[in-house]
């Protein structure tokens, strides 16, 4: 159950408790599960409880995959129940750290926006765009909320369109333009008794809802399964029948990159890679009452890992090491055009 589900249909406290129990059973997934649990607590109105979960993650001896995201969520939550000074300090720290993940930037910028700090929100969105998009010919899907949020704030400030606003307009797929959706004067029509104005506002709201649902329809990436060298060796030693799917580790890596490029070329968004381990795969096979030698389990295993929040976005961002684990930059490894 996603934490965006209406409180009318979900006991958020119970769901948070269930996720905490699951995190205890799967400590390797604790970060992903406890972030979801904290979101449920926020929706239940237990903001101090949500902060406690964020603090629990940040104090963990296990390094976090997305520490800036957890800090951003904590800052946003703190501000909502009167801890503005602490929230601002965390936001300043995130901006100074310049994370390469767009999500923390969006969260802190929207926190500023929701508290009428429009200039600061615009500066934050812009700093993120300069960092993440200046050297990118085609923005990754994960950066769309960054561009849309920046467009919205600048529209509210009455700023003239710039190149990134134009790019946001281009990426926006709804039938109602971003300029119309983000028009500050829209609120005036809500008090109108003109049926035409009210109908136009209903159409705009439907378009916004459609965009929101489109984003929610991608809870995790379309993921390809990757086996590190030692894990693949162990897998094929235990289950030699899988050799037909994995003739060699080098060919395995080449197939992953080729498959992802083919999916990207076909227009499939939100692509990712999940890394398998033999014990995890064997446990998954047992849960399916099947044998690990059954090759049809492999894509199901990949989907399950992605649903648990273990996918890494593909392609890697500029300057990030290649997904294969060779230690070289992606552009110097599987990201070269001759791969």
Please state, in angstroms and rounded to a whole number, the distance separating the CA atoms of residues 178 and 145: 12
Which residues are within 8 A (CB) of 99 and not within 5 positions of it... i.e. 6 or more apart?
Answer: 68, 69, 105
Helix axes 84-97, 118-133, angle to 10 degrees: 20
Confidence of residue 254 (pLDDT cuts 50, 70, 90): very high
Dig out the tokens for 318 from the structure.
């500029």
Helix axes 249-265, 229-238, angle to 10 degrees: 110
Structure letter (DSSP) for residue 274: E
Question: What is the DSSP secondary-structure string of 297-332?
Answer: HHHHHHHHHHHTT--EESSPPTTPBPTTSSSSBGGG
Q: With a cut of 60, say whether residue 161 has pLDDT above it.
A: yes
Which has the closest alpha carbon to 298: 246, 228, 238?
A: 246
The pLDDT value given to residue 202: 61
Q: What is the dihedral of CA 201, 184, 104, 93, to 10 degrees?
A: -160
**Of the ranges 177-191, 294-308, 322-336, which one carries the lowest mean pLDDT score?**
177-191
Q: With a cut of 90, say whether residue 7 has pLDDT above it.
A: no
Given a contact cutoff of 8 angstroms between Cβ atoms, the answer to whether 74 and 93 are in contact is no
pTM: 0.61
Q: For residue 61, how many other CB atoms are within 10 A of its CB?
A: 4
Confidence of residue 5 (pLDDT cuts 50, 70, 90): very low
Confidence of residue 294 (pLDDT cuts 50, 70, 90): very high
Given a contact cutoff of 8 angstroms between Cβ atoms, the answer to whether 161 and 123 are in contact is no
Dig out the tokens for 31 from the structure.
């970060």
Unique residue bearing structure tokens 């926190």: 111
CA 86 and chain centroid, separation: 25
Higher-pLDDT residue of 142 and 53 is 53
Which has the closest alpha carbon to 257: 213, 183, 202, 323?
A: 323
Q: Residue 25 is inside which H or E element, if any? A: helix 12-25
CA 285 and chain centroid, separation: 28
**Of the ranges 87-101, 225-239, 256-270, which one carries the lowest mean pLDDT score?**
256-270
């Amino acid at each position: 159950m996603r934490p965006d589900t209406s409180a009318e249909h979900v006991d958020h406290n119970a769901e948070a408790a269930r996720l905490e129990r699951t995190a205890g059973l799967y400590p390797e997934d604790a970060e992903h599960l406890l972030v979801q649990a904290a979101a449920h607590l926020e929706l239940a109105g237990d903001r101090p409880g949500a902060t406690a979960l964020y603090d629990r993650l940040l104090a963990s001896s296990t390094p976090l995959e997305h520490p800036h995201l957890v800090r951003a969520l904590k800052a946003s939550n703190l501000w909502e129940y009167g801890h503005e000074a602490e929230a601002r300090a965390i936001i300043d720290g995130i901006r100074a750290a310049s994370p390469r993940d767009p999500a923390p930037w969006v969260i802190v910028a929207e926190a500023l926006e929701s508290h009428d700090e429009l200039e600061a929100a615009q500066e934050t969105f812009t700093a993120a765009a300069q960092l993440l998009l200046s050297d990118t010919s085609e923005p990754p899907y994960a950066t769309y909320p960054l561009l849309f949020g920046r467009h919205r704030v600048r529209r509210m400030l009455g700023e003239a369109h710039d190149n990134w606003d134009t790019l946001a307009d281009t990426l926006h797929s709804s039938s109602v333009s971003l300029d119309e959706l983000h028009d500050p004067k829209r609120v005036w029509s809500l008090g109108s008794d003109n049926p035409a104005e009210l109908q136009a506002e209903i159409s705009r709201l439907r378009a916004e809802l459609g965009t929101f649902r489109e984003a929610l329809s991608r809870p995790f990436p379309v993921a390809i399964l990757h086996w590190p060298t030692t894990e693949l060796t162990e897998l094929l030693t235990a289950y030699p029948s899988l050799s037909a799917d994995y003739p060699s580790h080098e060919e395995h890596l080449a197939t992953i990159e080729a498959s992802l490029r083919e999916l990207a070329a076909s227009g499939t968004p939100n692509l990712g890679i999940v890394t398998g381990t033999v014990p995890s795969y064997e446990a998954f096979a047992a849960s399916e009452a099947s044998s690990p030698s059954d090759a049809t389990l492999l894509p199901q295993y990949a989907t399950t890992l992605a649903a648990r929040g273990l996918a890494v976005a593909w392609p890697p961002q500029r300057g990030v090491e290649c997904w294969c684990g060779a230690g070289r930059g992606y552009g110097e490894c599987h990201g070269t055009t001759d791969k």
